[in-house]
Structure 1
């Protein structure tokens, strides 16, 4: 099991979890002009958002937390990660993550952020279960989640309709004990 030897649990090797600042709203809104970003992020219909719509949400909400992802080397905003729909009585939450620009994807930022947010979820928030869903065409995200230790728990067949085709919505989850055993390896 991981100990408290890390001096700052909001830092990984490539990214850090940060509070939103006012200037982030413009960057977050610009992300929504990228169709590929929107179609991988959510099952809702893709539509660009205004600065007010896309702007940072409150970091601490009754049923979730959201962090901005900033690079360690340049302190540059690259995306967000959130634990939402927290059910405190069940020690369960859902996870959402987005890397905004295509040039920042595939560089390990998302995997680093997953490691940080899972440690936060299991050790700081004392959660026992984290779940997420991913659209079947988003194979890069699916494999990143599997690598992080998420297990496919089921599929909602033809749940997402995009570009005249239907796709499955894959339900994935991870338990605290699975995450801790992965750390032992």
Structure 2
């Protein structure tokens, strides 16, 4: 059986609750176009610190965690399970590494392993899905590394800088984790 420490703590990151001082860091990420354009297909818009003060970590169909480094407690991103259909034991995943210096260094992969362990062992989900924009090669590699499989694509569903990109649909089942 996992201890609480193991449930929320990986090799590089920990799943954490929101702290009021986190709002300013999270607002700073909204000025990073690369981050915004990889984390969401919606239009990129800067967000105020005040808008993050109402950050809710849990709802009836989702849960959000902030990601902090194990070694020095630096806030580097978030991970969430949302759109959970309890009757179908499935949900959707979202993740973002907001701090540029922590990208492509294994922090996202470690966070994915943690949230999948949480989804399958704590929430008793059977399927976790996501969609990722086709140009986000770094994200796709991380998802595949932890076991996600490509299911298909929503062709030309994202328009960025005059170019059309697919959304890649991926999922992982409990028995594949």
TM over 0.5: yes
Runs in 1 of length 4+ with deviation above 4 angstroms?
Answer: none
1:55 offset after TM fit, Å? 4.3
Query: Mapping of 1:1-185 within 5 angstroms?
Result: 3-4=1-2, 7-55=5-53, 57-179=55-177
Deviates more, 1:98-107 or 1:124-133: 98-107
Check the 8 A contact 1:18/1:69 in 2, yes or no.
yes
Q: Say if 1:114 and 1:154 are closer, same or farther in 2 by CA, change over 3 A.
A: same
1:102 offset after TM fit, Å? 1.5
TM-score calculated relative to the size of structure 2: 0.96
Check the 8 A contact 1:19/1:59 in 2, yes or no.
yes
Check the 8 A contact 1:135/1:169 in 2, yes or no.
yes
Check the 8 A contact 1:9/1:116 in 2, yes or no.
yes
Corresponding residue number in structure 2 for 1:182:
none
SS at match of 2:82: strand
Q: Say if 1:23 and 1:32 are closer, same or farther in 2 by CA, change over 3 A.
A: same
Aligned residues: 177
SS at match of 1:167: strand
TM-score calculated relative to the size of structure 1: 0.92
Alpha-carbon separation, structure 1, partners of 2:54 and 2:7: 21
1:9 offset after TM fit, Å? 1.1
Q: Say if 1:7 and 1:104 are closer, same or farther in 2 by CA, change over 3 A.
A: closer
Alpha-carbon separation, structure 1, partners of 2:103 and 2:128: 23
Structure 2, unpaired ranges of 5+: none
Check the 8 A contact 1:20/1:56 in 2, yes or no.
no
CA offsets, 1:104-150, max 9 Å, x none? 10111100000100000000000000000100000010011011100
